[in-house]
Amino acid sequence: MTETKTATERINIERLMSKIEALGQVGGLPGGGVCRLALTDEDKAGRDLVVSWMKELGLKVTVDEVGNIIGIRAGRTDGAPFLMGSHIDTVRTGGYYDGNYGVLGGLEVIACLNDARITTEIPVGVGVFTNEEGARFAPDMLGSLAHQGQLDKEAALGAVSIDGKVLRDELVRIGYMGTEPVGSMRAAGYVELHIEQGPVLEREGITIGAVEGVQGISWTEVNIKGVSNHAGTTPMSMRCDAAYCAARIAVFVRELALRMGRRQVATVGAITVWPNLVNVVANRAKLTVDLRNTDNELLKQAEAELAAFLEQLKQDEKVGIETRKLARFEPVDFAPEMIDLVEREARALGFSVKRMPSGAGHDAQAFAPNCPTGMIFVPSVRGISHNIEEHTEPKDLEAGANVLLRVVLNRAGSAA
Ligand code: HGY
Ligand code: MN
Ligand code: MN
């Protein structure tokens, strides 16, 4: 017997895939993948496309003072909405799914409610949050933190990008400096659909992750000041070599993570040296250190060991070293009722499900202190992300979006 599915029981995967592929062309890279850095022209084009889809779905669309876009579908009653959402800004070597899947999965749920002419008890909405990646402006999750009152509006608007632009000016330039006050809106609850971006679900053959929380994140910019000198004539004992010190730091943080083991991770993702010439001992270097751990005490230990290492390196190599904190988030736990709900709805649909922490930061962590918050993960092929090869199978994308639909119907109630 063919399974009869109503619009409120199953999402339309063809409709969802066509939006994912269309958005993936915006900022699409020649060899595949996407580069849509926050508040660039590509981000603007992506925003315009998503806003047009929101309007087609009949959502009331607002843009707030840090460029967050919120589309709301009215419920039988007014009041705080149940929100879905994520981000559409990407890293430089982004894929089709990181962030985009959560936004477009939310729009697909709205389309299902429209098809079924369902009126939910409370309003339901989808958020597109500014600068989640933190790749262009720090900190990451900037928009959702400001949206939930955890980052001062002026601090957010004053953020300076890696290419020297001020966030406020970029919002104006792309036409997304909204008028909706930022920081005061509270949701009845928040759920974010996202790819895992790691290897766990695929390795264990599991379809859905019921996310328990997000690990702690510490981002530090390190500026090293040495002395430029001739690569041939300068005795090794006389060198104040900024590039060598940058390399030492990259090796140190890798060894630190391996020594600490368990869930400690460490990355030096960006290094720039000056004057960056083959025959000149570098006089300057700038690098970033990303430390993460699910245990905040261990993360603090890692930060302290890094600080001690930098102090010793300064003495040994006679260089100047200054650090600047780019982001610091304590681990966040999601609401047990939301974790239970994701797990229950996944099982009800016949999917295998696993409770797990998130290694990546997400907009959901900004909502967690303010309302019942949860996340739904689906597997990443070969566990890769922040890579143009990022991929998730359509059957898994469909599974995750169907769990999202059921979570929304449960939390927003279907009045008719
Ligand atoms: O860095 C992160 O975890 C996220 O991709 N912003
Ligand atoms: Mn993301
Ligand atoms: Mn990301």
Confidence of residue 3 (pLDDT cuts 50, 70, 90): very low
Amino acid at the residue 415: A
What topology is assigned to 13-215+331-412 in CATH?
Aminopeptidase (3.40.630)
Is omega for the bond preceding 379 within 30 degrees of 0, making it cis? no
For β-strands 320-329 and 216-225, DSSP reports them as antiparallel
In the reported structure, the alpha carbon of residue 55 is separated from the centroid of ligand 2 by a whole-number distance in angstroms of 24
The three-state secondary structure class of 268 is: coil
15's enclosing H/E stretch is helix 13-24
**Token pair 């300057």: residue:** 284
* Mean pLDDT value of segment 361-370: 98
Residue 395 has pLDDT above 50, yes or no: yes
User: Which atom from ligand 1 is nearest to the alpha carbon of 292?
Assistant: 3
Encode pLDDT of 104-121 as tens digits.
999 999 999 999 999 999
Q: Give domain limits for the chain.
A: 13-215+331-412, 216-329
Confidence of residue 321 (pLDDT cuts 50, 70, 90): very high
Mean pLDDT computed over every residue of the chain: 96
Q: Which pTM does this prediction carry?
A: 0.95
Q: In this structure, are residues 284 and 223 in contact, taking their beta carbons and an 8 Å threshold?
A: yes
Encode pLDDT of 159-191 as tens digits.
999 999 999 999 999 999 999 999 999 999 999
Encode pLDDT of 265-312 as tens digits.
999 999 999 999 999 999 999 999 999 999 999 999 999 999 999 999
Residue 9 has pLDDT above 90, yes or no: no
Encode pLDDT of 204-247 as tens digits.
999 999 999 999 999 999 999 999 999 999 999 999 999 999 99
Confidence of residue 414 (pLDDT cuts 50, 70, 90): confident
* Mean pLDDT value of segment 48-54: 98
Atom 6, ligand 1: which residue's CA is nearest? 133
**Spatial separation of the C-alpha atoms in residues 334 and 393, rounded to whole Å:** 26
Please tell us whether the domain made up of 216-329 is placed in CATH 3.40.50.300: no
Using a 6 Å CB cutoff, which residues line ligand 1? 132-134, 140, 360-361
In the reported structure, the alpha carbon of residue 71 is separated from the centroid of ligand 1 by a whole-number distance in angstroms of 24
* Mean pLDDT value of segment 322-331: 97
User: Which atom from ligand 1 is nearest to the alpha carbon of 134?
Assistant: 6
pLDDT at 416: 54
pLDDT at 106: 98
Residue 151 has pLDDT above 80, yes or no: yes
**Spatial separation of the C-alpha atoms in residues 119 and 412, rounded to whole Å:** 9
